[in-house]
């Protein structure tokens, strides 16, 4: 299985790049975050014309998640059950061969002193409970997306600068560890070891060329 996760920061803007990705790498699944489009305006036909089926959960301007697949997916779940939340951050679906895929865009959290951080913590508690239930239901489970969590000090370019800051607090890291405790494992460990395994760079800082990255996007496998 070849699977991709990508925070596109607007599907409409990134559609040409998505076309290149699908053409050059032919993934079985592509999970997108921050599609930033309402369901009624989702670019469904454009994606289907590229040879992919798609399920999606979106809202205007912010957030939004989608799963592209070569074959039609079933048992689609949008949002976290029992969590009252109007933000489109989670979609789950089951592939034709039985793999359950959960695509998440975890809240950023802004700063520890803000209400957005407490929202993130409450959201993560509900998300971990949701994944716990899904682990019991599915033998083949993939949990992925933009987690907005750097699990270890080596996952940021300057551990001292990020210490006890949002993305790196012990609370956030503990939630990530809970997911691993369910028997999920970090897929990147199978392919790449060592420092600078980054997934995000701030374009405003020319961060990619300066190697000022963060690892906040993850693919966890059962």
Reported as half-sphere exposure (CB side, CA atoms, 13 A), residue 221 has a value of: 10
Residue given tokens 């993305």 in the structure block: 167
- Nearest C-alpha neighbor of 150 from the set 198, 219, 206, 208: 198
Cα–Cα distance for residue pair 69/75, rounded to 1 Å: 14
Dist CA 40 CA 215 (whole Å): 33
Is residue 105 among the annotated active site residues? yes
Rg (CA), the chain: 17
**Does 146 participate in catalysis according to the annotation?**
yes
Take residue 1 and report the two structure tokens written for it.
């299985």
Q: Which of 56, 117, 146, 176 is catalytic?
A: 146
**Burial class of residue 136, CB neighbours in 10 A (0-12, 13-18, 19+):** exposed
Instruction: Judge contact between 67 and 93, C-beta under 8 A.
Output: yes
Q: Give the residue carrying structure tokens 């920061």.
A: 9
Residues marked active site are found at 105, 146
């Amino acid at each position: 299985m070849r699977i991709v996760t990508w925070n596109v920061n607007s599907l409409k803007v990134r559609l040409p790049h998505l076309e290149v990705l699908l053409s050059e790498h032919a993934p079985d699944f592509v999970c997108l975050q921050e599609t930033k489009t309402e369901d009624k305006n989702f670019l469904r036909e454009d994606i289907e014309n590229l040879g992919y089926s798609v399920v999606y959960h979106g809202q205007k301007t912010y957030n939004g998640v989608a799963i592209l697949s070569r074959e039609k997916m079933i048992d689609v779940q949008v949002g976290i059950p029992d969590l009252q939340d109007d933000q489109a951050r989670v979609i789950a679906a089951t592939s034709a061969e039985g793999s359950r895929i959960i695509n998440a865009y975890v809240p950023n959290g802004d700063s520890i002193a803000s209400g957005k951080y407490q929202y993130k913590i409450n959201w993560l508690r509900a998300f971990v409970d949701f994944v716990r239930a899904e682990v019991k239901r599915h033998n083949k489970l993939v949990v992925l997306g933009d987690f907005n969590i750097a699990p270890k000090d080596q996952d940021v370019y300057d551990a001292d600068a990020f210490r006890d800051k949002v993305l790196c607090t012990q609370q956030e890291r503990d939630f990530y560890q809970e997911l691993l405790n369910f028997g999920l494992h970090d897929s990147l460990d199978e392919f790449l070891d060592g420092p600078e395994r980054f997934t995000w760079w701030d374009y405003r800082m020319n961060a990619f060329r300066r190697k000022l990255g963060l690892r906040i996007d993850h693919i966890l496998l059962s």
